[in-house]
């Protein structure tokens, strides 16, 4: 949703923006082409190398490796606040989902079930969570993307599997998922359990709750916060936050219903089906 996000951010030449989720630099490139200056943050050091290469012909940008929950410190250290717009394009990139070695994709059963975005600072892999969490904790973890019955079912499968041997690989997790009745037609049965595990490994919902108020505070008046989410748990957090700021009069809701990707984009990128974009403007 590059065009929609750029329109939502109201890019103006020479003004400052932050892309909290630089990824492979698509949104940053679009901001730079419109004359904006952009500070890009990404938790995954590997993604920054990709972005740096993509943006090598531009000058008005900085890239910082870090967690967007630290946006306030990162912005101040880089003399990048206040700003005119902030973008969060949540989750992982297509590069992650296609990577056969890091455990995000279920295409390579031999891969370690890792899923950490920053292996240098995060100690707990996906396999570790499956091996150490208690039954109730596992049910909570899977409830993020599965209904309670399915979350209970898959928890039982994890407990049973790890009694025989610790869970280690993507293949182990795929076996655990076998027989799960959930998801939508055409969706792999492994999609939702993998999503729940990835969200837990990277504390994605907690990070989102923490970053929204801090990012909002960094905005100039009239500055905009644009958030693209891919999962109902995320969208709920964004919706509540935006509604709250509208009610207190600190912000003006620009979107009352989320903006969705167009059919052409969905044809090119299946993941865009679940994308929802919401925008708030600081008053
Ligand atoms: C959907 S991709 C962004 C794609 C990007 N907008 C583009 O145009 O290419 C999400 C990115 O956010 C990064 N990310 C996820 N959680 C993060 C966090 N807490 N802090 C910083 N980056 C994070 C991921 O590593 C990933 O590269």
Q: Are residues 17 and 91 in the same domain?
A: yes
CA-nearest of 39, 32, 41, 40 to 14 is 32
Helix, strand, coil tally for the chain in percent (to 5): 50, 15, 35
Do the domain assignments include residue 260? Answer: yes
35 part of a folded domain: yes
What is the whole-number distance in angstroms between the Cα of residue 63 and the centre of ligand 1?
Answer: 12
Whole-number Å distance between alpha carbons of 60 and 255 = 29
Confidence (pLDDT) at 269 = 82
- C-alpha 23 – ligand 1 centre gap (Å): 5
194 lies in the same domain as 224: no
Same-domain pairing of 159 and 147? yes
Mutate to test the pocket of ligand 1, among 21, 61, 198, 204 (most ligand atoms within 8 A of CB): 21
Place of tokens 């297509």: 94
Q: What is the CATH number of the domain that holds 147?
A: 1.10.150.170
Query: Which of 94, 115, 95 has its CA nearest to residue 103?
Result: 115
Instruction: Indicate whether 106 belongs to any domain.
Output: no
Q: State the average pLDDT for the chain.
A: 96
Q: Which residue CA neighbors atom 9 of ligand 1 most closely? A: 24
Same domain, 217 and 196: no
Do 33 and 90 belong together in one domain? yes
Residue 204 is predicted with a pLDDT of: 98
| CA angle (37 as vertex; 227, 268 as ends), nearest 5 | 50
Tokens in use for 117?
């975005």
Structure tokens at 91: 């989750």
Whether 20 and 88 share a structural domain: yes
One domain, residues 127 and 82: no
Check residue 267 and give its pLDDT: 84
In a domain, 118, yes or no: no
Phi, psi of 16 (to 5 degrees): -100, 140
**Within this chain, do residues 74 and 135 fall inside the same structural domain, yes or no?**
no
User: How many whole angstroms from 223 Cα to the centroid of ligand 1?
Assistant: 21
124-128, 164-168, 185-189, 243-247: the lowest-pLDDT one: 185-189
Closest atom of ligand 1 relative to the 47 alpha carbon: 27
CATH number for the domain harbouring residue 47: 3.40.50.150
Q: Which helix (H) or strand (E) holds 79?
A: none
Range of the domain at 188: 123-201
Does residue 222 fall inside a structural domain? yes
pLDDT for position 273: 86
Share of residues in the chain with pLDDT > 90 (%): 92
Q: What is the pTM of this model?
A: 0.96
Q: What is the pLDDT of residue 221?
A: 97
Q: What is the pLDDT of residue 66?
A: 98
Ligand 1 atom closest to Cα of residue 93: 2
Same domain, 227 and 179: no
Q: Give the β-pairing of 276-282 and 219-229.
A: antiparallel
CA–CA distance, 104 with 119 (Å, rounded to integer): 13
**Protein residues whose CB sits closer than 6 Å to any atom of ligand 1:** 20-21, 23-27, 41-44, 47, 67-68, 89, 91-93, 117, 202, 207
Nearest to 116 by CA among 164, 46, 178, 218: 46
**Where are the alpha helices (H) located in the chain, listed in sequence order?**
2-9, 26-33, 45-54, 71-77, 94-98, 126-132, 135-143, 148-164, 170-177, 191-201, 204-218, 232-248, 263-268
Atom number in ligand 1 closest to CA 211: 19
Q: Report percent pLDDT > 70 for the chain.
A: 100
Give the distance from CA 43 to its chain's centroid. Answer: 10
Could you read off the pLDDT of 28-44 as tens digits, one per residue? Answer: 999 999 999 999 999 99
- Output the CA 222–ligand 1 centroid distance in Å: 25
Boundary of a domain, candidates 177, 201, 225: 201
Which has more pLDDT, 184 or 72?
Answer: 72
Domain tally for the chain? 2
Are 8 and 80 in the same domain? yes
Burial zone of 257 (CB within 10 Å; 0-12 exposed, 13-18 middle, 19+ buried): exposed
Please write the tens of the pLDDT for every residue from 238-277.
999 999 999 999 999 999 999 999 888 888 887 788 899 9
The domain boundary, picked from 153, 171, 201, lies at 201
Task: Tell me the C-alpha to C-alpha distance, in Å, between residue 85 and each of 5, 17, 195, 217.
Answer: 11, 5, 29, 11
- Give the confidence band of 176 by pLDDT, cuts at 50, 70, 90: very high
Are 146 and 197 members of one domain? yes
What's the gap in Å between 42 CA and the centre of ligand 1?
A: 6
pLDDT tens sequence across 103-153: 999 899 999 999 999 999 999 999 999 999 999 999 999 999 999 999 999
For residue 21, being part of any structural domain is answered with: yes
62 shares its domain with 76: yes
- pLDDT of res. 40: 98
- Using DSSP, state whether 219 is helix, strand or coil: strand
| Mean predicted confidence (pLDDT) in 190-209 | 97
- Whether residue 103 lies inside any domain: the answer is no
The last residue of one of the domains, among 162, 182, 201, is: 201
Residue of 43, 116, 215 best suited for mutating to test ligand 1, as the one with most atoms within 8 Å of CB: 43
Q: Is 116 among the domain residues? A: no
pLDDT at 187: 86
């Amino acid at each position: 949703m590059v065009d929609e996000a750029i329109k939502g951010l109201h890019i103006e030449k020479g003004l400052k923006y932050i892309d909290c989720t630089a990824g492979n630099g698509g949104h940053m490139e679009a901001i730079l082409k419109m004359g904006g200056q952009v500070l890009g943050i990404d938790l995954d050091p590997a993604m920054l190398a990709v972005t740096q290469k993509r943006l090598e012909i531009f000058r008005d940008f900085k890239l910082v490796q870090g967690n967007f929950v630290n946006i306030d410190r990162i912005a101040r250290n880089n003399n990048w606040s206040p700003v005119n717009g902030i973008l969060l394009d949540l989750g992982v990139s297509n590069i992650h989902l296609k990577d056969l070695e890091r455990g995000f994709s279920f295409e390579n059963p031999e891969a370690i079930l890792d899923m950490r975005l920053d292996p240098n600072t995060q100690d707990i892999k996906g396999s570790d969570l499956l091996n150490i969490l208690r039954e109730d904790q596992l049910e909570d973890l899977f409830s993020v993307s599965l209904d309670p019955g399915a979350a209970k079912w898959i928890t039982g499968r994890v407990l049973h599997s790890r009694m025989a041997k610790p869970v280690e690989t993507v293949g182990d997790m795929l076996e655990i998922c076998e027989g799960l009745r959930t998801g939508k037609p055409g969706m792999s049965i492994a999609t939702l359990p993998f999503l729940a595990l990835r969200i837990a490994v990277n504390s994605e919902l907690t990070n989102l709750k923490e970053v929204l108020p801090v990012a909002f505070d960094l905005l100039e008046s009239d500055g905009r916060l644009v958030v693209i989410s891919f999962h109902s748990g995320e969208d709920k957090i964004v919706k509540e936050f935006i509604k709250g700021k509208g009610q207190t009069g600190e912000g003006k809701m620009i979107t009352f219903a989320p903006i969705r990707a167009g059919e052409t984009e969905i044809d090119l990128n299946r993941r865009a089906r679940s994308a929802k974009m919401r925008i708030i403007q600081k008053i």
